[in-house]
Amino acid sequence: MKHIVIGTAGHIDHGKTTLVKALTGRETDTLKEEKDRGISINLGFTFFDLPSGRRAGIIDVPGHEKFIKNMLAGVSGVDIVLLVIAADEGIMPQTREHFEILQLLNVKKGIIVLTKADLVDEDWMDMIKDDIRKEFKDTFLRDAPIHAVSSRTKEGLDELVNEIDKFTEEVEAKDTQGHFRLPVDRVFSVSGFGTVVTGTVISGSVSEGETVAIYPSKVTAKVRGIQVHDQSVKAAEAGQRCAINISNIKTSDVKRGDVISVENLMEPSLMVDCKLYYLKSAARPLENRQRVRLYHGTSEIICRVAILDKDEVKQGEEAYVQLRLEKPLTAQRNDRFVVRSYSPMYTIGGGTIIEPLSQKAKRFNEEYIEELRVKESGKTENIIENAVKNLSDTYPKVLDILKSLGKNEEDIADKLATLVQGGRIIQLDSGDKAAYLHKDFLDEKIDQMVNILENFHGHNPLKWGMSIAEIRNKVFGRNIKQKIYDELLKYFVDDKKIDIHGHFISLSGFTIKYTEEQKDIRKSIIGSFKNAKFTPPRYVELEASCHDKKSFKMVFDSIVDEDVLVKVSEDCYFLSEDYENAKSLVVSFIKQNGSMTLAQFRDELNTSRKYAMALMENFDGIKLTKRSEDKRILY
């Protein structure tokens, strides 16, 4: 079902609240001060049923210039606006400011309502209508119907209701399949129920019993109950005004301007990149780092404007800007916003959020500005590719990409799959654990790895390569998860960039090439260990017999790297096959006898206590055996 929210706008005392009461039969001014002063201060909410059977929510906004921030909090989610103009006064300052705000927020449908029609004659009414047509001739209201009504006599109300009903048929359906978002416009407590928040659901849906998060604090809560138009329901969806009873949350934990959304989905930010339109009516050009007030959803945040592509923004111009905020904002890409001057307060511009999670940008950085142009273009696959490129050094998963996009992308998996198929994005692992990396990031990393390995091989021709752990730290940093690192290495091996030899990484195709002299040294070392068995020679003894100490060390280290020799303790090595035989002997002996003493192990190997002890302690270290008093048992 299509859900409609109607909003009022217009100058103070032009009859907005009286019109809403005439349409719905309900009073929206509920504060004592509002009734005493006869003006709307806060937002008013109610609903009414249309002839088609559709039920429309209606938001009544205050018209006084002092309460524009309340007006902005209410009008951001409306589908149809009733621009209210008193027939006896015509267009006034707040009429124009409210209308500018509507345009900045991209409201597309509106009806002009001339109230107090009973107070003017026909000639006056015709003159006011001519003024209205001239005022709005180049705007979204250029062809808007104008309805003259009297809330006192009920003149024209039926025709207005029918017009509203007709307009509701043309309203675009909301994004009910996207992620749930509700900007909070009111918070209060109900005895016996606790905290209640109200707002217009701008995307997705929420159901009773769901866990939601309050942004920017990220406090989580459970939806205890939902009301839409004063009726309890099990769920609410985009386009509906609703009240949500949330459990385990104090009223002090949530406020107007907060956003209720899906847990772990959104990320508040202190900087947002935007496309700003600066109003022609602004008093003076916008200067870099000028302090302004940002209005987004139901929030008001003071910020400074960093102009990225101009020295200043003149009246009627557009610019790429970065808003640097004094409080965190929770937004999504393509959200609309309005800015007003810091003091005195009047509306000066607004536009679209391009990047809701930006980093501090330098002015006149053409590469950064071009990136904003790509994001602004709205070509989803380009935007997703760009997001993955920027996030690659964090090895992002789908949820991380969604957060950075700041936009509902229900079919993001399909779009990522298309990019993977095209070779621009590389997918590591699968399912929920899948990480996505940009090809440019991987090319940069493999170039870095190749340079390091080329240098290493040049200085260490008899080593199989650098250790896997050392490459990880030098190229990828310590924060990369082992699973992702393993997947990356497999990708580079498959791409024939590297080879892996045990615990070492080498350039693809690298082989150790011994000189004839080095071959002789290698043969001599291995022969010495074969002859000695479990009473192996010491390094210094073997080295002493070789005249080329440098070559000897390179060959010896190479044999160790190849796992031909196993180091069990400082200056104690065994041939790999002897080491494995000793392990098998220990396991077999303990299985037959229940335990093994060091003396028994020494005698079985026909070696000295020194070498038996070195092997036993090594086996304890690899958790093959463990000590029990003066014996060893299997671990």
Cα 72 to Cα 42, 171, 298, 348, 458: the distances in Å are: 11, 21, 7, 14, 67
Instruction: Give pLDDT tens digits for 553-580.
Output: 999 988 998 889 999 998 899 999 999 9
Number of domains the chain contains: 5
Query: Is there a contact between 74 and 185 (Cβ–Cβ < 8 Å)?
Result: yes
Category of 297 on φ-ψ map: left (φ > 0), alpha (ψ -120 to 50) or beta: left
**Nearest CA among 113, 114, 129, 128 for reference residue 167:** 113
pLDDT value of residue 410: 56
**Contacts of 509 by beta carbon, 8 Å cutoff, 6+ apart:** 499
Q: Which residues pair with 195 in a beta bridge?
A: 189, 246
**Nearest CA among 372, 348, 417, 2 for reference residue 172:** 2
pLDDT value of residue 74: 54
More confident residue, 324 or 21: 324
Looking at the fold, whether 366 and 295 belong to one and the same domain comes out as yes
Q: Assess if residue 36 is contained within a domain.
A: yes
Confidence of residue 64 (pLDDT cuts 50, 70, 90): very low
As a whole number, the mean pLDDT across the chain is 88
> Is it the case that residue 77 has pLDDT exceeding 80?
no
Instruction: Give pLDDT tens digits for 368-413.
Output: 999 899 888 867 778 788 888 888 988 998 888 887 775 555 577 7
pLDDT value of residue 57: 82
Lowest mean pLDDT among 39-48, 62-71, 143-152: 62-71
Q: Assess if residue 391 is contained within a domain.
A: no
Looking at the fold, whether 240 and 335 belong to one and the same domain comes out as no
Query: Is there a contact between 24 and 46 (Cβ–Cβ < 8 Å)?
Result: yes
CATH of the domain at 65: 3.40.50.300
Lowest mean pLDDT among 68-72, 207-211, 266-270, 600-604: 68-72
Q: Assess if residue 416 is contained within a domain.
A: no
Task: Report the pLDDT averaged over residues 25-34.
Answer: 54
Q: Choose the final residue of a domain: 453, 487, 507.
A: 507
The bridge status of strand 219-228 relative to strand 241-247 is antiparallel
CA distance 288 to 273: 14
In eight-state DSSP terms, residue 23 is: H
Task: Report the pLDDT averaged over residues 221-225.
Answer: 94
Looking at the fold, whether 547 and 589 belong to one and the same domain comes out as yes
Looking at the fold, whether 625 and 488 belong to one and the same domain comes out as no
Q: Assess if residue 499 is contained within a domain.
A: yes
Query: Is there a contact between 624 and 587 (Cβ–Cβ < 8 Å)?
Result: yes
Looking at the fold, whether 201 and 244 belong to one and the same domain comes out as yes
pLDDT value of residue 590: 95
Task: Report the pLDDT averaged over residues 181-203.
Answer: 89
Q: How many helical (H) and strand (E) elements, i.e. helices and strands, does the chain have?
A: 19, 34
Confidence of residue 278 (pLDDT cuts 50, 70, 90): very high
Share of the chain above pLDDT 90, in %: 56
CATH of the domain at 620: 1.10.10.10
CA distance 434 to 415: 14
In eight-state DSSP terms, residue 600 is: H
Q: CA 178: distance to chain centroid?
A: 15
Query: Is there a contact between 90 and 10 (Cβ–Cβ < 8 Å)?
Result: no
**Nearest CA among 351, 200, 219 for reference residue 272:** 351
Lowest mean pLDDT among 55-69, 231-245, 384-398, 409-423: 55-69
CA distance 238 to 205: 6
CA distance 458 to 180: 57
User: Coil, strand, or helix at residue 125?
Assistant: helix
Instruction: Give pLDDT tens digits for 413-452.
Output: 788 888 888 888 999 887 778 899 999 999 999 999 999 9
CA distance 137 to 127: 15
- φ/ψ of 531, rounded to 5, equals -70, -35
More confident residue, 47 or 618: 618
Looking at the fold, whether 190 and 304 belong to one and the same domain comes out as no
Q: Assess if residue 572 is contained within a domain.
A: yes
Q: Which residues pair with 222 in a beta bridge?
A: 211, 247
Query: Is there a contact between 404 and 439 (Cβ–Cβ < 8 Å)?
Result: no
Looking at the fold, whether 257 and 337 belong to one and the same domain comes out as no
**Nearest CA among 44, 38, 39, 34 for reference residue 8:** 44
Confidence of residue 63 (pLDDT cuts 50, 70, 90): very low
Looking at the fold, whether 107 and 200 belong to one and the same domain comes out as no
CA distance 328 to 60: 28
Query: Is there a contact between 164 and 50 (Cβ–Cβ < 8 Å)?
Result: yes
Task: Report the pLDDT averaged over residues 80-87.
Answer: 93
Cα torsion 112, 107, 58, 5 to 10°: value is: 130
In eight-state DSSP terms, residue 283 is: S
Domain span at residue 599 reads: 516-634
Kindly state the tokens that stand for 595: 């335990």
- φ/ψ of 199, rounded to 5, equals 175, 180
Query: Is there a contact between 462 and 558 (Cβ–Cβ < 8 Å)?
Result: yes
Instruction: Give pLDDT tens digits for 466-508.
Output: 999 999 999 998 778 888 899 999 999 999 999 998 889 999 9
- Measured in residues, the chain has a length of 635
pLDDT value of residue 383: 79
- φ/ψ of 45, rounded to 5, equals -130, 135
Looking at the fold, whether 48 and 159 belong to one and the same domain comes out as yes
- Greatest mean pLDDT among 66-70, 151-155, 581-585: 581-585
Residue 267, H or E segment: none
Instruction: Give pLDDT tens digits for 505-546.
Output: 999 999 888 889 999 999 999 999 999 999 999 999 999 988
Looking at the fold, whether 315 and 360 belong to one and the same domain comes out as yes
What is the chain's Cα-based Rg? 37
CA angle in degrees (0–180, nearest 5) for 549-550-556: 85
Cα torsion 500, 505, 510, 513 to 10°: value is: -100
pLDDT value of residue 400: 84
CATH of the domain at 238: 2.40.30.10
Looking at the fold, whether 531 and 615 belong to one and the same domain comes out as yes
Looking at the fold, whether 225 and 200 belong to one and the same domain comes out as yes
pLDDT value of residue 73: 59
**What end-to-end distance do the CA atoms of the chain give, in Å?**
66
Is-cis flag, bond preceding 216, omega within 30?
yes
pLDDT value of residue 407: 55
The DSSP secondary structure of 510-556, one letter per residue, reads: ------HHHHHHHHHHHHHHHHHTTSPPPHHHHHHT-S-HHHHHHHH
Task: Report the pLDDT averaged over residues 212-221.
Answer: 94
User: Coil, strand, or helix at residue 41?
Assistant: coil
Q: Assess if residue 401 is contained within a domain.
A: no
Instruction: Give pLDDT tens digits for 304-345.
Output: 999 999 999 999 999 999 999 999 999 988 889 999 999 888
Kindly state the tokens that stand for 243: 């009240």
> Is it the case that residue 32 has pLDDT exceeding 50?
no
Q: Assess if residue 486 is contained within a domain.
A: yes
Query: Is there a contact between 72 and 18 (Cβ–Cβ < 8 Å)?
Result: no
pLDDT value of residue 40: 40
User: Coil, strand, or helix at residue 622?
Assistant: coil
Q: Assess if residue 399 is contained within a domain.
A: no
pTM score:
0.67
The DSSP secondary structure of 395-422, one letter per residue, reads: ---HHHHHHHHTS--TTHHHHHHHHHHT
User: Coil, strand, or helix at residue 443?
Assistant: helix
Query: Is there a contact between 302 and 347 (Cβ–Cβ < 8 Å)?
Result: no
CA distance 5 to 238: 10
Query: Is there a contact between 169 and 284 (Cβ–Cβ < 8 Å)?
Result: no
Q: Choose the final residue of a domain: 125, 150, 170.
A: 170
Q: Choose the final residue of a domain: 371, 398, 425.
A: 371
Confidence of residue 357 (pLDDT cuts 50, 70, 90): confident
Confidence of residue 41 (pLDDT cuts 50, 70, 90): very low
> Is it the case that residue 215 has pLDDT exceeding 60?
yes
Cα 295 to Cα 8, 14, 68, 398: the distances in Å are: 18, 24, 10, 30
pLDDT value of residue 609: 95
